[in-house]
A and B are shown apart, each in its own frame.
Chain A
Amino acid sequence: MANATVTRMDLADAIYQEVGLSRSESADLVDMVLDEVMAALAQGETVKISSFGSFSVRAKKQRIGRNPKTGEEVPILPRKVLVFKASHVLKDYLVGKSKAK
Chain B
Amino acid sequence: MLERGNAMTKSELILRLAQRNPELYQRDAEKIVDVVFEEIAQALSRGERVELRGFGAFSVKDRKPRIGRNPRTGTSVSVPGKRVPFFKTGKFLRDRLNGKV
Contact = CB atoms under 8 A, between A and B. Distances in A.
A76 interface: no
B77 interface: no
Majority DSSP secondary structure for residues of A touching B: mixed
A82 B97 CA distance: 8
Interface residues of B, number: 52
Interface residues of A, number: 55
A54 B84 CA distance: 15
Contacts of B87: 55, 82, 84
Interface string A2-26: 0111111011001100110100000
Interface of B: 1-3, 6-10, 13, 16-17, 20-21, 28, 31-33, 35-56, 60, 82-87, 89, 93-94, 96-98
